[in-house]
Amino acid sequence: MEQVFSYVISLGASVMMPILFTIIGLCIGMRFGKALKSGLYVGVGFVGLGIVTALLTNNFDSPLKEISNLYGLQLKVFDMGWPAAAAVAYGTAVGALIIPICLGVNLLMLLTKCTRTINIDLWNYWHFAFIGAVAYFVMGQSLLWGYFAAIVCYIITLVMADLTAERFQKYYDLQGISIPQPFCQSFTLFAIGVNWLLERIPGLAKSDVDAEGLKKRFGVLGEPLVLGVVVGVLIGWAAQLDIKKVLFLGVTMGAVMELIPRITSLFIDGLKPIAEKTQEVAKKRFGGMKVHIGMSPALVIGHPTTLVCSVILIPVILAIAVFLPGNQFLPLASLAGMFYLFPLILPYTRGNVVKSLIVGLVALVVGLYFVTDMASAFTLAADEVYKTDPTASAAKIPDGFEGGALDFASSLFGYVIYACVKYMRWIGMGVLTLVTVALMLWNRRRIICDEKTVEESYKHGDTKEKDTESPC
C-alpha cells in the first residue's frame, strides 16, 4: 500500500488530476471527452503554476540570501522551505501510510455525516504527515502519538473546510468547492478575529479598498504587475546587484504577478463543470445533500488582492523578522508560499486590501514565533530522516543552525497540536480529543439541520438556490 501511494504521489498533480477528474466525471454521468478536458485543464494549471513558482524561487533565492549576508541578517533558525518539511513528513512511518488512513477517516466522516468534503487534494496531505512526524519524534518515535496528531489535524481541517465553504464559494463564485488544506484554514481564525476588531475602528470600518479601488487611487502603481516590478527592483537594489540583474529581477517578479492569474483561470475552467455536475447529481439522487470537492487553494491564488498583499508582505516581513524580539527565523526559501496566506482571508475581509494585509501581517508575525518554538522538534525530525535516508538532501540542515519552514510550521493548527503533545502530553491528548469530537458532532448537527431545511423547501416547491447563508 505504501508503494502504491508513493507511486501516485511521485506522478504529481499534473499527471494524476486528469486521471482523477476523468474517473470522477464518468462516475457522475459526464461524457468522457468533457471529463477528460476538465481534468487536463487542471493538470495543465498545475504544470503552469509549478513553472511560475520555480521562476520566483530560482531567481530570488540567491539575491535574498545575499541581502541576508550583506546586512548580517542571519538568525539561528535556517529556512528549509516546504521541500524539507515534505521530506520530513513522508520520511517516517507516519508519512508512509498517511494517505490511505486519512482517506479512510474522510470516508467514515462522510458516511456518518460529519463532513461534506471529499478531500482529493492528495499532494497537500504532507501537511498532516508533517505534524504527525514531528509528534512521532518528539514523543520518542511513538506511532500512537504520530498518527493521533495527524488524524486530529485532518479532522479539524475537514470541519473547517465545511464551515468556510459557503463564504468561499460565494466570494470566488466556485460552487461545490472547499479548501481542506490546514495551512490555509489556520488563517481563517485570524481573519475572523482581526477583521472583527478592524470593523470597530473608525475609518477602517467603512473603507472599501479592493484591488480595483487600488488601481483607481494609485493608477498604474496599483497594478499587481507594476507592484511586482517595483518590489523585484528593490530586492535587486538591496542585494547590490548590477543594473542588468536588478531590472531582470523586476521584470521577473512582474511576470509572476501577471502569469499567476492567467494560469489559475485554467483550474477554474477545469473544476467548474465537474463541481456543477456533482451538485446536480447529489440533488437528484440524495435530495438536499450537498457535496464539496476538496481542492488545493492554488486555484484562487491569482486573485488581485492576494497578489497585491503577497508582494507587499515579502519585504515587510523580512524587515520585521530581523527586529522582532524573540524571533529566530528569517523567511527566505518559504516566501514563495506567501500567496497561500490569503485564499481564506479574502472571503472574510471581502477583498479589502488594507484589512487583508493587516490580517496577513498579524498571522505571519505570530507564525514566526511558532516556527522559532518548533525549530528544535523540526531539527530532530529532519536529522533523523536524513540519517535514515542520506538521499533525502532536502532534510539536511546546515551546520550551526536549527531548521524551520514557514509552510505549515507557522500554522495555528499545527502549532497548537504540537504544543499540546509536547508540553501537555496525555492531558493535551485528552483536550485535543474532546475538541475534535465536539467539532465533528457540531458539524454533523449543522449538516443534518441544513438537509432538513432543504427537504422542507423541496416539499413546499421551493427549489431555488438561496443567496443567504445557511440558518444552520
Express each pLDDT in 388-428 by its tens digit: 878 777 788 888 889 898 888 889 999 999 999 999 999 99
pTM of the complete model? 0.88
- pLDDT classification of 119: cutoffs 50, 70, 90: very high
Least confident interval from 152-156, 220-224, 273-277: 220-224
pLDDT mean across residues, the chain: 86
Question: Residue 447, exposed/middle/buried by CB under 10 A (0-12, 13-18, 19+)?
Answer: buried
Q: What does the pLDDT look like over 45-92, one tens digit per residue?
A: 888 888 888 888 888 888 888 888 887 777 899 888 888 888 888 888
- Distance from C-alpha of 426 to C-alpha of 299, rounded to nearest angstrom: 39
Share of the chain above pLDDT 90, in %: 41
Which whole number is the average pLDDT over 358-365? Answer: 94
- Lowest-confidence pick of 6-20, 86-100, 280-294, 339-353: 280-294
Q: How confident is the model at residue 197 (pLDDT cuts 50, 70, 90)?
A: very high
In a domain, 245, yes or no: no
pLDDT tens per residue, range 223-277: 888 888 999 999 999 889 999 999 999 999 999 888 988 888 888 888 888 877 8
Classify residue 228: in a domain, yes or no: no
Please count the other Cβ atoms lying within 10 Å of the Cβ belonging to residue 430: 12
14 in any annotated domain = yes
Total structural domains in the chain? Answer: 1
Q: Which domain holds residue 430?
A: 1-210+253-451
User: Is residue 333 one of the residues assigned to a domain?
Assistant: yes
Phi, psi of 323 (to 5 degrees): -100, 0
Output the pLDDT for position 205: 66
Q: Is the pLDDT of residue 102 over 70?
A: yes
| Residue 297 falls inside a structural domain | yes
Residue 247 lies inside a defined structural domain of this protein: no
In a domain, 143, yes or no: yes
User: Hunting for cell 427537504 — which residue is that?
Assistant: 455
Mean pLDDT of 300-321: 90
The pLDDT value recorded for residue 470 is 62
Q: Does 236 map to a domain?
A: no
Predicted local confidence at residue 275, as pLDDT: 79
What's residue 287's pLDDT?
57
